[in-house]
């Protein structure tokens, strides 16, 4: 049996295609959207560093396919204790998304389970979508046939947004909320807060609520005080 993940974890509200800011990843986004909506589309293997949007695209694909009435399953392998049982427990579904593939590297039984799942999905006409930090040949997988199967997928290297792109996204999203973020505020924030876009957008939601409640514009002192209230270690 696959561990059942809470809905809030499986489908975070921001992890949809419309909330993915593509930057240099527009081709990957288009391919994942096609896979989510069109049976028979090429299977995909996404790779890139943390923060490049791999999990976002996998969950967005599952949400979109599910909304279209297709059966979906999402396995965040790094978060699952018994990965062999989880992979072997996959049954049915038109779209199967396996995240953090590197977590099974060196786990012989899990690698064989994934090899079997790959072949079963091919026979049943299901679609597979993979994500990992490296290409198949650099994951440390011990099963050559599995490396070969994964290498046959269409591969996309995802790149994180750079700071200028993150700033543009944050400014645009703030503008939609009626918040003005001037460059000094952004400079201060980027020097003291994580640059992960999801975390920045979550912070923007908090800023929106706090500034409305206080009837104040967002300034550095206001932002500093709010981060302190959130338990931040920001000085």
Q: What is the pLDDT of residues 75-113, one digit of tens each?
A: 999 999 999 999 999 988 899 999 999 999 999 999 999
| pLDDT confidence of residue 142 | 96
Q: Which residues of 94-117 are buried (b: 16+ CB within 10 A; e: fewer)?
A: bbbbbbbbbbbbebeebbbbbbeb
Q: What CA–CA distance (Å, rounded) separates 156 from 27? A: 8
- pLDDT-derived band at 11 (thresholds 50, 70, 90) equals low
Mean pLDDT for the stretch of residues 165-179: 89
Q: Are 159 and 48 in contact (CB under 8 A)?
A: yes
132 membership: H or E segment, kind and range = strand 127-132
pLDDT band at 185 (very low <50, low <70, confident <90, very high): very high
Q: And the tokens for 91? A: 């049954």
Q: Which of 67-71, 139-143, 203-207, 230-234 has the lowest mean pLDDT?
A: 230-234
What pLDDT does residue 4 have? 41
pLDDT in tens, 14-29: 789 998 999 999 999 9
Whether residue 7 has pLDDT greater than 80: no
What's residue 195's pLDDT? 79
Measured in whole angstroms, the distance separating CA 205 from the mean position of its chain's CA atoms is 19
Neighbouring-strand partners of residue 132: 47
Summarize the confidence of residues 113-129 as an average pLDDT: 96
Whether the per-residue pLDDT at 10 is higher than 70: the answer is no
> What sign does the dihedral 141-31-165-219 (CA atoms) show?
negative
Percent of the chain with pLDDT over 90: 63
Considering the segment(s) 7-157 as one domain, its CATH architecture is 3-Layer(aba) Sandwich (3.40)
| Integer Cα distance of 217 and 210 in angstroms | 10
Among candidates 214, 3, 123, 29, which has minimal Cα distance to 223?
Answer: 214
Using alpha carbons only, give the angle 134, 89, 103 rounded to the nearest 5 degrees: 25
pLDDT of residue 235 exceeding 70, the answer is: no
Mean pLDDT, rounded, for 31-50: 96
Query: By three-state DSSP, how is residue 45 classified?
Result: strand
The answer, yes or no, to whether residue 216 has pLDDT greater than 90, is no
- As a whole number of angstroms, the distance between CA 145 and CA 102 comes to 16
For 138-160, the pLDDT digits (tens) are: 999 999 999 999 999 999 999 99
Please state whether the predicted TM-score (pTM) of the whole model is above 0.85.
no
Residues 6+ apart with CB under 8 A from 175: none
């Amino acid at each position: 049996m696959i561990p059942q993940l809470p809905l809030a974890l499986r489908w975070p509200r921001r992890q949809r295609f419309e909330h993915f800011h593509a930057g240099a990843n527009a081709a990957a986004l288009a391919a994942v959207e096609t896979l989510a909506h069109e049976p028979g589309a090429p299977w995909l293997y996404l790779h890139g560093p943390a923060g490049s949007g791999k999990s976002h695209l996998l969950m967005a694909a599952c949400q979109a396919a599910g909304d279209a009435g297709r059966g979906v399953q999402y396995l965040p392998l790094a978060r699952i204790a018994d990965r062999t049982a989880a992979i072997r427990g996959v049954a049915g579904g038109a779209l199967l998304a396996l995240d953090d593939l590197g977590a099974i590297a060196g786990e012989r039984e899990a690698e064989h389970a994934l090899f079997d799942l790959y072949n079963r999905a091919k026979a049943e006409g299901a679609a597979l979508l993979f994500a990992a930090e490296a290409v198949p040949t650099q994951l440390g997988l011990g099963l050559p046939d599995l490396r070969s199967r994964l290498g046959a997928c269409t591969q996309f290297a995802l790149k994180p947004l750079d700071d200028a792109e993150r700033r543009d996204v944050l400014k645009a999203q703030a503008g939609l909320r009626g918040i003005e973020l001037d460059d000094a505020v952004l400079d201060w924030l980027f020097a003291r807060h994580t640059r992960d876009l999801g975390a920045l957008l979550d912070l923007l939601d908090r800023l929106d609520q706090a500034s409305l409640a206080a009837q104040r514009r967002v300034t550095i002192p206001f932002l500093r005080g709010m981060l302190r209230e959130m338990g931040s270690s920001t000085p």
